């Protein structure tokens, strides 16, 4: 009962209204920015025989439909690659809900929700530098739109949005790890003044290995300053059948569930591409100056939630 009272006290708080107004403006700015650049907007897919295997262990999120087991979408990575093969779909984006049933280890995370949304995009024949430039433009545009249209809401939240005039720095994970150890993201985020990119992470098989350089990867994360942590992850993609199988085997993956995807690759139908996915709640949290992701989501879906509603 106590929890229900607290929930409705949060609902009644003026910050809740300001955050909702800013959320709308952020979503509008994100979508406009890509629509103005001739991206096509797709609707999200929520269930499929395959989904993103992710780089960390989560509980399986599956449902039964007649004779089939279907996975709930952890990210639309494979559907993005497949969508790029459709006519005229050379630049695409989706406002995509993702389900990730995280384990208790991260129950204290201020950056994770069991269901969240990504602003997820992909460019046929794109490369990492083109995409990083696009992301920087996108973030700067969203900040300028919020600054211009949401002054009253930012004042309510007591938030002075930082102005990013210079280019976002690009570091490689090796150089940061050598300097700061394995916690480099956290340490760098705490001291940074502007968002910055980190490249070259060893993670999921679909992020492209640097051609001719085993164990190096053409991928990137965007990290927010002031301790807000990870904003986005993205990459150039593997698209060649042999290399995809090599990467999956390297991670000891079961290839069988991916048979149809692999068949598309074997026929040479996948395009080279690059893209990324920006966490919408994380962006909102940073813009609103809130420290816990639960503060920008009306319905609590943090790892430790009691699922009140």
Summarize as ranges the residues that interact with ligand ASN (CB under 6 A): 52, 75, 77, 118, 120, 233-235, 275-277
Percentages helix, strand, coil for the chain, rounded to the nearest 5?
A: 40, 20, 40
Contact status, residue 234 vs residue 219, Cβ threshold 8 Å: yes
Return all residues near 227 (Cβ < 8 A) that are at least 6 apart: 186, 189, 190
DSSP element (H, E) containing 232? strand 229-236
Return the closest-CA partner of residue 159 out of 22, 63, 12. 22
- In the complex, the smallest distance separating the C-beta of residue 123 from ligand ASN, rounded to whole angstroms, is 11
Which residue minimizes CB distance to ligand ASN? 277
Q: With beta carbons less than 8 A apart as the criterion, state whether 139 and 195 touch.
A: yes
Least Cβ distance, residue 45 to ligand ASN (angstroms):
13
In the bound state with ligand ASN, the residue whose beta carbon lies nearer, of 280 and 296, is: 280
Q: Compute the least distance from the CB of residue 120 to ligand ASN, in Å.
A: 5
Q: Give residues with Cβ within 8 angstroms of 269, minimum separation 6.
A: 85
Distance of CA 107 to the CA centre of its chain: 19
Q: How far is the CB of 76 from ligand ASN (least distance, A)?
A: 7
Least distance to ligand ASN, CB of residue 184, Å: 20
Alpha-helix residue ranges (DSSP H) falling in 67-215: 77-83, 128-149, 151-156, 173-180, 184-191
SS3 303: coil
Q: Are 122 and 79 in contact (CB under 8 A)?
A: no
Specify the DSSP element, H or E, that contains 275.
strand 273-279
Question: Closest approach of Cβ 151 to ligand ASN, in Å?
Answer: 32
Shortest distance, position 289 Cβ to ligand ASN, whole Å? 25
Task: Name residues whose C-beta falls within 8 Å of residue 72's C-beta, 6 or more positions apart in sequence.
Answer: 46, 47, 51, 61, 62, 63, 99
Q: Is the CB of 52 or the CB of 153 nearer to ligand ASN? A: 52
Residue whose CB is less far from ligand ASN, 20 or 106: 106
Q: Between residues 75 and 156, which has the closer beta carbon with respect to ligand ASN?
A: 75
Q: Is residue 235 within 8 Å of 207, Cβ to Cβ? A: yes
For ligand ASN, the closer of residues 195 and 275 by Cβ is 275
Would you say 7 or 210 has its CB closer to ligand ASN? Answer: 210
The minimum distance between CB 235 and ligand ASN, in angstroms, equals: 5
Q: Which is nearer to ligand ASN, 53 or 225 (CB)?
A: 53
CB atoms within 10 A of CB 61: 18
**Which residue lies nearer to ligand ASN by CB, 91 or 159?**
91
Are the CB atoms for 107 and 304 separated by under 8 Å?
yes
């Amino acid at each position: 009962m106590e929890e229900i009272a607290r929930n409705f006290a949060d609902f009644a708080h003026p910050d809740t209204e300001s955050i909702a107004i800013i959320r709308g403006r952020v979503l509008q700015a994100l979508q406009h920015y890509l629509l103005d650049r001739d991206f096509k907007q797709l609707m999200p897919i929520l269930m499929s025989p395959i989904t993103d295997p992710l780089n960390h262990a989560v509980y399986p999120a599956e449902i039964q439909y007649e004779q089939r087991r279907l996975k709930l979408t952890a990210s639309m990575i494979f559907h993005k690659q497949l969508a790029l093969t459709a006519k005229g779909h050379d630049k695409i984006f989706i406002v995509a809900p993702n389900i990730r049933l995280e384990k208790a280890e991260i129950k204290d995370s201020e950056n994770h929700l069991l269901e969240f949304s990504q602003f997820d995009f992909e460019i046929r024949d794109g490369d990492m530098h083109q995409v990083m430039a696009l992301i920087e433009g996108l973030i700067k545009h969203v900040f300028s739109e919020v600054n211009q249209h949401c002054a009253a809401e930012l004042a309510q939240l007591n938030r002075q949005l930082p102005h990013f005039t210079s280019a976002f720095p690009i570091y490689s994970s090796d150089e940061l790890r050598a300097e700061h150890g394995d916690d480099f993201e956290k340490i760098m985020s705490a001291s940074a003044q502007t968002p910055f990119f980190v490249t070259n992470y060893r993670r999921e098989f679909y992020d492209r290995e640097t051609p001719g350089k085993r164990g190096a990867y053409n991928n990137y994360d965007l990290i927010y300053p002031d301790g807000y942590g990870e904003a986005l992850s993205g990459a150039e993609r593997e698209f060649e059948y042999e290399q995809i199988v090599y990467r999956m085997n390297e991670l000891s993956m079961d290839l069988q569930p991916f048979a149809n995807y692999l068949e598309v690759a074997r026929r040479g139908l996948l395009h080279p591409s690059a893209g990324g996915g920006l966490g919408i709640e994380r962006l909102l949290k940073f813009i609103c100056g809130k420290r816990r992701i639960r503060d920008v989501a009306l319905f609590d879906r943090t790892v430790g939630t009691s699922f009140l509603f």
